[in-house]
Amino acid sequence: MSDAVADRTALRDGPRAVTVPLGTRAYDVLIGPGLLTETGRLIATRLGPAKCAIVTDENVARRHLAALETALKQEGVHVGSIVLKPGEATKSFSELAPLCEHLLELGIERGGLVVAFGGGVIGDLAGFAAAILRRGVRFVQIPTTLLAQVDSSVGGKTGIDTAQGKNLIGAFHQPSLVIADTDTLRTLPDREMRAGYAEVAKYGLLGDAAFFAWLEQNWRSVFAFEPAALAKAIETSVKAKAGIVGRDETEQGERALLNLGHTFGHAFEAWCGYSDRLLHGEAIAIGMCLAFRFSEALGKCAPGTSERVAVHFAAVGLPTRMSEIPGAQPDVPALMRLMGQDKKVRQGKLTFILARAVGEAYVAHDVAPERVSDFLAREIAGASGR
Ligand SMILES: NC(=O)c1ccc[n+]([C@@H]2O[C@H](COP(=O)([O-])OP(=O)(O)OC[C@H]3O[C@@H](n4cnc5c(N)ncnc54)[C@H](O)[C@@H]3O)[C@@H](O)[C@H]2O)c1
């Protein structure tokens, strides 16, 4: 883990803070319980007085919006809240245009702040709106899903989906502050919590074997919301992501490691129409198991490694095989077509994140499509043969 990532977590009663080291655009990720009610003060002291417009979705609004509005009103900075429909379909051009116009109507000017309050869908959409509004206004991420707290709220990738694929329109636009109130996770459906956990485990699998071993021992405490375990899981994940983003903000190299399991996973998500049939984290869980099995099949990784990964994911209730995708199963041509749509294709070769061991992922740019199709055919045949 990078020494460049400042660790100022020792503050006894305050939130844990991880700095994303991006020079003049560096920002803090604050992690801890009860932060929502502190938000007005945290924003005012760290970012100065600014008109704040909240963007959220109906599920988050129902449970937590009143607390956030109160906190902002106490500082006199709340100018309005925009509540959108929950779900991936909200990350679209058709929602982006009225959102931008609504933010302008609320008087968000160059000095204003967009407050993205929700999961990755709201963070990606509101962050992109902030990136293009008046050629860029500041925004604050207040992530309310585990996935958003450990992944999507950190690193500045914002954007929307189109008919051609996910996240194909977007911008790098870093937030000015991230406030991860761990108490908000208590209202998250179990399935969403598990899906977010897949991204937590990803950090162990890609670069931190000791963290993965810790998760194998302590995952029950994380799911039981034991404060120390939950905070450690989130903080370790955020530090890992902050370090990678600090070294490779625009994904010229190392940042691609964060896509472990994503080439397969995105294809499964696309096959399921980005619906509740398969959540992003579930698709990535299967994708990571496949990435390890594929690494073994290519002789890059010791036999048995993928089994260790699958055993852990199965223990927490995550899917580990394509046969667990509900409904019709994808076939090899369909998957190859969907992976071809993946924006990581270069000159007919596929980019995969492979692994030499737990905690040792690497970027392979030269994977021949036929090795992939053979592997997928064996996976599918193996599943139907059991
Ligand atoms: N920008 C990035 O770097 C990045 C990284 C990973 C994923 N993503 C994107 O993130 C999105 C997925 O994010 P997600 O998994 O957070 O999904 P999401 O935003 O759809 O949230 C999942 C569900 O949980 C609900 N919810 C959110 N917080 C809640 C709470 N505290 N209590 C109860 N319900 C709550 C939401 O309304 C929604 O129904 C995808 O669009 C993916 O592409 C972006």
Residues of the chain predicted below pLDDT 50: 1-4, 6-12, 385-386
| Residue 116 near residue 55, CB atoms below 8 Å | yes
Which residue's CA is the closest to the ligand 1 atom numbered 7? 152
The pair phi, psi for residue 220, each rounded to 5°, is -65, -35
Looking at residue 81, what is its pLDDT? 98
115-130 pLDDT tens trace: 999 999 999 999 999 9
What's the CA gap between 67 and 185, in Å, rounded? 15
Looking at residue 344, what is its pLDDT? 57
Looking at residue 13, what is its pLDDT? 53
Looking at residue 9, what is its pLDDT? 46
Looking at residue 339, what is its pLDDT? 85
Looking at residue 59, what is its pLDDT? 98
The per-residue DSSP string of 86-126 comes to -SGGGSSHHHHHHHHHHHHHTT--TT-EEEEEESHHHHHHH
Looking at residue 386, what is its pLDDT? 41
Nearest to 86 by CA among 51, 48, 117, 109: 117
Q: Report the separation in Å between the CA atom of 125 and the middle of ligand 1, taken as the mean of its atom positions.
A: 11
Handedness of CA 89, 93, 94, 96 (dihedral sign): positive
| Residue 27 near residue 175, CB atoms below 8 Å | yes
Looking at residue 106, what is its pLDDT? 97
Is 135 one of the annotated active-site residues of the chain? yes
Bridge partners for 349 per DSSP: 346
CA 324 to chain CA mean position, Å: 22
240-289 pLDDT tens trace: 999 999 999 988 889 999 999 999 999 999 899 888 999 999 999 999 99
The pair phi, psi for residue 68, each rounded to 5°, is -70, -40
What's the CA gap between 329 and 100, in Å, rounded? 39
Greatest CA separation found in the chain? Answer: 64
Indicate if ligand 1 lies below 6 Å from the C-beta of 86: yes
* Residues 306, 310, 314: CA angle, nearest 5 degrees: 175
Which residue's CA is the closest to the ligand 1 atom numbered 44? 152
Side chain identity at residue 377, one-letter code: A
Catalytic residue among 157, 166, 173, 232: 157
Residue whose CB lies within 8 A of the most ligand 1 atoms, among 20, 35, 59, for a mutation test: 59
Is 266 one of the annotated active-site residues of the chain? yes
Bridge partners for 140 per DSSP: 115, 177
The per-residue DSSP string of 261-328 comes to THHHHHHHHHHTTTSTTS-HHHHHHHHHHHHHHHHHHTTSS-TTHHHHHHHHHHHHT---SGGGSSSS
Residue whose CB lies within 8 A of the most ligand 1 atoms, among 142, 173, 191, 192, for a mutation test: 192
